[in-house]
Structure 1
Amino acid sequence: MRLAQADTVIWLDFPSKLNTLRVIKRSWRFRQDKSTRPDMPDYFEEQMFDKDYWQFLKFVWTFNKKVRPYIVSTLENRPKTAKLIILKNRRQVTKFMAKL
């Protein structure tokens, strides 16, 4: 529904390994200083070694293998009026943001 109305699509197409490492790093950082994550509600408490956390890591690790093909297919069939911008790393994101 959103894609049909979009004039621009920005896809952060990062490698699964990088995404997984960033999740672990973010979890570890907020575990170390005992603060809550700023992007989560105050009552949220990260549990690095519980079942849900490992399931989430598995989801992130396998995302590109399982979900990426669907995204690629969907984007190939996007409306011709929708501009597609694919950013594959932090440097490309920084460069893109600087242009805004």
Structure 2
Amino acid sequence: MDRIALIGCGGSGKSTIARQLAQILDAPLTHLDAIYYDEQWNPLPQEEFTARQEKLVTGERWIIEGNYAGTLPIRLAAADTVIFLDLPAATCLWGIVQRRRRYRGGQHQADGVYDRITWNFVRYILGYRRTMRPRVRNLIQEHGPHVQLISLTSRRQANRLVDRIRAQAPPMP
């Protein structure tokens, strides 16, 4: 597990799992939201966003957390592991409620968390498994047939994965 792409619905726990894995594996972590948006929620031009990801994936080791299906093939082609947090909508909605309580709205670029809840975002979460999941699975099949795919359907499974990786990791110096 040297090049990990961590994907899943908003509120699924991608940022939390990514931070834990980055610490355990001592791997550089990139939150795609922190690259894509500036402080005023203006998106980066698509060409620049693509170019930044193409540069990121040239590293020997990395964890890149975020969806962005349009550029997912870049990460899939370079990854050796994909962790897909395929959690139910209710779990993801609860995740964004917890995030709102924790961060009280706004952006937190230092750790890549963006707490911006809109009705469009809620609708996205409610429809993720019906619309985005099939698209993501097709992209994985097409651009990542070589990856170790770890698909998790509950927070309990995600926590067990982190615990298993922690137990197998060599001690930090």
Query: What TM-score does the superposition give when structure 2 sets the normalisation length?
Result: 0.43
Equivalent of 2:162, from 89, 97, 100?
Answer: 97
Alignment of 1:1-100 (within 5 A): 1-27=74-100, 29-30=101-102, 36=104, 40=108, 53-100=118-165
| Bigger-Rg structure (1/2) | 1
SS in 2 for 1:10: strand
RMSD across aligned C-alpha pairs, in angstroms?
Answer: 2.7
Partner-residue secondary structure (3-state), 1:95: helix
Would you tell me which structure has more strand in proportion to its own residues? 2
Structure 1 unaligned blocks of 5 or more: none
- Compare the two structures and name the one with the higher helix fraction: 1
Runs of 4+ aligned structure 1 residues displaced above 4 Å come to: none
Amino acid at match of 1:57: V
TM-score normalised over the length of structure 1: 0.69
Where relative contact order (Cα < 8 A, 6+ residues apart) is larger, the structure is: 1
Distance in 1 between residues matched to 2:98 and 2:158, nearest whole Å: 20
Please give the per-residue CA displacement for 1:17-62, whole angstroms capped at 9, x wherever unaligned.
22123223432x25xxxx6459625xxxx68xxxx62221111111
What percentage of aligned pairs have identical amino acids?
Answer: 26
Aligned to 2:118, the other structure's residue is in SS state helix
The count of residues paired between Structure 1 and Structure 2 equals 88
